Amino acid sequence: MKVLIVYAHQEAQSFNTALLARSVAELTALGHTVRVSDLYAMRFNPVATGEDFGERRFPDRLQYDREQKHNFQHRSLSDDITAEIEKLIWCDLLILQFPLWWFSVPAIMKGWIDRVFVNGAVYGAGRRYDTGGLTGRRAMMVTSTAAYPGMCATDGLVGALDVILWPIQNGTLAYAGCKVLPPFVSWSVNFVDEATRQGYLDDYAERLRRIETAKPLFFHPLEDFGPDWRLRPGVAAQAVGQGRPAG
């Protein structure tokens, strides 16, 4: 299996660095091929601008998604975007690894998504969810947080983790066609002892050993939605981000 790890942490001595090293070692030992996009080390530019395009279909006003499609078709995207798209299309498994900041990914990773999940390659022309451009690939989020598990329980202080991660798991990975695996989370890493952190590393290694047979999370396929873009009558809402209006 070909694995792309997109990694966002700026500290070389962080627990995330240990997670990354363990994952690369474990996956390689299992016979998988691993590539890493270390965004901070690469000094990846997260800012989407007109400079991303060698050609402009609409020179008077920047329409970023439409220029993405045009430049992807004409092979005139900037070199850094082209290189990352090549890795994305190459992989069988995409891992996004990051510390959870303000209920989301760090800005540098959000910028990677904005610039690399390109219209025409990853989505567009009606391709989304089970028809998305990354159909056939798996994806997983690996995150760390200073929060305690109870804080992210259904009745917790900040709300359920699957709700917190919904915009990326559903709105990015599943939307692009990936089968999204349950996330791996290291809890309260600033406050636990070294033995607990070592346990997280071992648990992650065990998860990776079972990665090819792991059951994906459920997201509704396109056929569950009607022409009004809402769940069809008789289709029970099963994903955390969907429900039926009260009354």
User: From CA 211, how far away is CA 203, in angstroms rounded?
Assistant: 12
Predicted local distance difference test score (pLDDT) of residue 246:
65
Q: What is the CATH number of the domain that holds 51?
A: 3.40.50.360
* Claim to verify: residue 28 and residue 78 sit in the same structural domain: yes
Closest residue by Cα to residue 32 from 227, 210, 183: 210
Range of the domain at 189: 2-216
| pLDDT tens for the 247 residues of the chain, in order | 999 999 999 888 898 999 999 999 999 999 999 999 999 999 999 999 999 999 999 999 999 999 999 999 999 999 999 999 999 999 999 999 999 999 889 999 999 999 999 999 999 988 999 999 999 999 999 999 888 888 888 888 888 898 899 999 999 999 999 999 999 999 888 888 899 999 999 999 999 999 999 999 999 999 999 999 999 998 999 998 888 776 5
Closest residue by Cα to residue 81 from 128, 35, 114: 114
* Claim to verify: residue 35 and residue 102 sit in the same structural domain: yes
* Claim to verify: residue 133 and residue 231 sit in the same structural domain: no
* Claim to verify: residue 212 and residue 225 sit in the same structural domain: no
* Claim to verify: residue 90 and residue 149 sit in the same structural domain: yes
* Claim to verify: residue 194 and residue 130 sit in the same structural domain: yes
Predicted model pTM: 0.93
* Claim to verify: residue 96 and residue 82 sit in the same structural domain: yes
Over residues 216-239, the pLDDT tens digits come to: 999 999 999 999 999 999 899 999
Over residues 197-216, the pLDDT tens digits come to: 999 999 999 999 999 999 99
* Claim to verify: residue 101 and residue 12 sit in the same structural domain: yes
* Claim to verify: residue 32 and residue 95 sit in the same structural domain: yes
Indicate if the alpha-carbon torsion angle 187, 193, 197, 198 is positive or negative.
negative
3-state helix, strand and coil shares in percent for the chain, rounded to the nearest 5: 40, 15, 45
Q: Report how many domains make up the chain.
A: 2
* Claim to verify: residue 210 and residue 225 sit in the same structural domain: no
Closest residue by Cα to residue 30 from 209, 233, 225: 209
| Residue 247, SS3 per DSSP | coil
* Claim to verify: residue 245 and residue 162 sit in the same structural domain: no
* Claim to verify: residue 206 and residue 226 sit in the same structural domain: no
